[in-house]
Structure 1
C-alpha cells in the first residue's frame, strides 16, 4: 500500500534521493534535465511551500513531488518515482493527492519534455492537456477538482442544479459512486437546473432516456451504464447523434464513458463518513473534476 504525506524542507535529502534516481535513468537529453542539477539545498528551498513523499508499508520512500504555487496555479515539479517501482501506481497516487490539495487554485500545471512522449501521455491520462510551452518543454494543465459536502438529498440536487448553470450543449458528465450513493439524485438536480421535461429517474432497464428542454436550453440525455459491458456497448447506443445538441450524463460511467468526449466533467460521490449514518443522515462527499480544454479558466460549479 502506498501512503502519501505532506513534507517540508526537512525532507530534502529523501526527496533529492528519489529525484536523482528517477531522472538519472531516463534517456539522455540535450539540454540535460534540470532536475539532475538539484542539490539538497536547492530542493530544501523548493520545498518551502511543501511537497509530497510516497512511501510503502515498510517505510521505504519511493516517490516524490514538489508543490509550487504561483498565483492561481499549483505547479507540480520534480515528479519522480524510484525506477524499481514504476508502473505500480505510485506516480498516480502522488498526482491524485496533489489534486486533492489544489482546492484553493484554479488549475494545476506541469512541464514535460518533448522528447519523452510517454511522460506527456501519463499527464494526459490524468486529465492534463497541452497548452503550449517553450521548446524543449511542453506545458500541460488541468482544472483543479472541487469537493463539496452533501448532507442530504436536497443538497445533492442543489449541487446538480448548480453544475447545470455551467453546462451547455455537447457537455458530458460522468457520474460514479457506489450503489445508492446519490447519482440519480444528482442527475435530477441537473435536469431541474437545465429545465428539461419529465422526471429524471434511473434509466437502468431502458439504458438511456432523453429529456427535451422546456425552454431554449439543451436536452438532457440520461444514460445508465451499469448493465453495459464496456465502451463498445456504449457506442452501440448511437449517442453520438445527440452529443452535440444535448447535455449527456452517464451514471456508472467511470472507465466507460470517458471516450465520449475529451472535455467532460467527472463527478464522484462517496460516503463522507466511514461510520454508520446517525440521526437519519447519510452524508456524501461530492468531487467534481472538470477535464479538458473546455474547462480551463472556467468554473465547473458555482454553489
Structure 2
C-alpha cells in the first residue's frame, strides 16, 4: 500500500480540506446539538489555515484526511475538525495526522495539545484515550481532552542533572509522584538531590537503599520530600507494606527503581528515565552504557520525562525544562 503523505496544509489546500471536513462530519451519527463542522467553507478553512495552519493527508495525490490547528491557548496547540474521508476509514490516516501534529507542536515550542470530543461517539473517545489523551473537562456532551508532550534532554554533568531537577521542582506540589528508572550510576539520586534543593527540604539526600524510605521535611513551608529506593523490593505488595499511601497526598514522592512497582501509588505521575552514555567519535549522543559497567565522571546522562494523567495537562513542562518559551 502506498505511503501516506502528511504535510502542513497551505491556503491553496482550503477547498480540498473543506471538502474532507464536510464529508467526514456529515457521515457521522446525528448529534444533538449538531456539529457546526458541516458549515465550513473554503473561505472559512482558508482563514483558519492562514491563522494557525493545519494538516492534509494525501496518498498518490488524493486528499484523504485533514485537520485544523488552533493557537488560541498559550503554550498549547489545539486540534480542530479532525477528519478522514468516510470512504477510507480505519487505514491509519487519523493516527498519522496525530503523530505529525504532535511533532509540529514540539517544533512550535508547545507544552501539549488539546481538542474537543463528543461523548456520544465512544469509538472516537477510545481513539484519543489509546493515544494517551486524557479528559480534562467538559460541558455536557462536549468533552475536552489534553496531552502533555514528553521530553528528552542531554545532561553532560552531574551539575546539569541537579539543575534540571531544580527547575522541575518549581512545578511540583503536594501529591506529585515521580517514578525514577535507570541503571546503576545513572544519576537517580543525583537527580533527587536537585529536586530536594529546589523544594527547599532538609538534607542531606542520599540513597535510601538500606532504609528503603526517608522523609525530608520542608524548610520553606512547602511539601516534604519522601525518597524511596525500591531496588531491594521484589513486588508491588512489598512497596505497599511501606504504607506510603498515608503520605503521598501531602508530599512529593520520589521512587527510585520504581518502574513496574510504584504506579499503584497515584494515577498522576512523572516517569523519569536516566541513561548513562559514553562519548563516541562522531556521535553526539554517544553509546549507551550497560547498568553493571563502572561509572565514569565523563559519562553523559540522557533524561527522558513522560507525564501521565490529567494533573500534567496544561503544565508548562517542556518550556520550563527546555527553555522553549
TM exceeds 0.5?
yes
Match of 1:46 in 2: 48
Greater mean alpha carbon deviation, residues 225-234 or residues 239-248: 225-234
- Kindly name which structure, 1 or 2, has the bigger radius of gyration based on alpha carbons: 2
Q: 1:120 to 1:266 in 2, by over 3 A?
A: farther
1:68 to 2:70 alignment:
yes
| CA shift for structure 1 position 71 | 4.6
TM-score of the two chains, using structure 1 as the length reference: 0.68
Alignment of 1:143-158 (within 5 A): 150-158=155-163
Greater mean alpha carbon deviation, residues 11-20 or residues 113-122: 11-20
Alignment match of 2:246 (pick from 241, 245, 252): 241
| CA shift for structure 1 position 70 | 0.9
1:201 to 2:210 alignment:
no
Q: Is the 8 A contact 2:57 2:63 kept in 1?
A: yes
CA distance in 1, matches of 2:55, 2:238: 40
Match of 1:27 in 2: 29
Alignment of 1:1-303 (within 5 A): 7-9=8-10, 10-12=12-14, 15=17, 19=21, 23=25, 26-48=28-50, 49-52=52-55, 64-72=66-74, 73-80=76-83, 83-85=89-91, 90=96, 93-94=99-100, 96-97=102-103, 99-101=105-107, 103-104=109-110, 108-120=113-125, 122-123=127-128, 126-133=132-139, 135-141=140-146, 150-175=155-180, 182-194=187-199, 195-201=201-207, 203=209, 208-213=212-217, 215=219, 217-223=222-228, 235=240, 238-251=243-256, 257-258=262-263, 260-267=265-272, 275-276=285-286, 280=298, 282=300, 284=302, 287=305, 289=307, 291-293=309-311, 296=314, 301=320
Aligned length: 296
Where does the alignment leave 5 or more consecutive residues of structure 1 unmatched?
Answer: none
CA distance in 1, matches of 2:37, 2:125: 17
Post-superposition CA distance 1:272-292 (Å, at most 9, x none): 976437xx5636365574852
| CA shift for structure 1 position 154 | 1.0
Q: 1:84 to 1:275 in 2, by over 3 A?
A: same
CA RMSD of aligned residues (A): 4.8
| CA shift for structure 1 position 157 | 0.8
| CA shift for structure 1 position 244 | 1.8
Q: 1:287 to 1:299 in 2, by over 3 A?
A: closer
| CA shift for structure 1 position 158 | 0.8
CA distance in 2, matches of 1:3, 1:249: 42
Q: 1:115 to 1:47 in 2, by over 3 A?
A: same
Q: Is the 8 A contact 2:67 2:80 kept in 1?
A: yes
CA distance in 1, matches of 2:144, 2:41: 24
Where does the alignment leave 5 or more consecutive residues of structure 2 unmatched?
Answer: 278-282, 288-297
Q: 1:292 to 1:54 in 2, by over 3 A?
A: same
| CA shift for structure 1 position 69 | 0.6
CA distance in 2, matches of 1:254, 1:66: 37
